[in-house]
Amino acid sequence: MDPFNSLLVSLPLANMADAFFDSTMPGKVIVVVLFLGSAWAWTIMVTKRWQLLCADRATDDFLAAFRAERIPTALFTKREDYPGSPLNIIYTEGCKALGGELQAHGIDPDDLLMGDMTSEAHRRLSLNQLETLRAVVDRNVADEALNLEDQMGLLATAVSAAPFLGLLGTVWGVMDAFSGMAESGSAALSAVAPGISGALLTTIVGLLVALPSMIGYNMLSSRIRRISVQMDNFAQEFISAIQNSYVIEA
């Protein structure tokens, strides 16, 4: 027998199928629920991974473009957009709030890209207005953090609930197997082995759901923390740039 066929024979797929059909109806229901939960968890992991990958790339491009400009509002005035980057949303909302504060002094918000010739005319923001702008930026940072963490709680539920659901199916199946042995009056192992095998299947499936979900959750959480730190750092960098460019000197 060649190694490939030997590997196929050694795989427990057939035994798992037999165990599924030997399990009780509650055990079968739990296994089906766990399989659906696995598909649901993998869908979350794949879509979230793609979202974070796009956010990473767009954020790197945005930061490079933002730091290449001398004026902090240049990208906003040029209408440059970096879809997928939470920093771009924070920046856009911050510039809109800045435009509203400048408009209160009779300055056209569309003139945010004026150079040194009008820089003194634009230095009209008070410290109170700067704090208002900071509150807008911080609120958008919090909103984007919540958006990044969307559905992560559901993934964490799959990590924690799947093993316990599998254990529930195992305990239930073992109880049914021993009850059947008592009713039949036979203490032979062959009388309870199929039922116990089907009961243990739920624990195996529960672990097969929980383990990939746990690994995926930890990897995604690490990326979310990285982007969250970038958002916090950018918020401070943006507010500092606005303060240097637009706040009235004391």
Q: In this model, does residue 250 exceed pLDDT 60?
A: no
Residues 4-11, mean pLDDT to the nearest whole number: 50
State pLDDT tens for residues 87-128.
999 999 998 888 887 776 666 555 554 544 345 555 667 788
State pLDDT tens for residues 35-81.
899 999 999 999 999 999 999 999 999 999 998 888 888 888 888 88
Give the pLDDT confidence score for residue 194 in this predicted structure. Answer: 61
State pLDDT tens for residues 209-227.
999 999 999 999 999 999 9
pLDDT-above-90 percentage for the chain:
36
Q: What is the pTM of this model?
A: 0.78
State pLDDT tens for residues 178-217.
776 666 665 555 556 666 777 788 888 889 899 999 999 9
Map 222-233 to HEC letters: HHHHHHHHHHHH
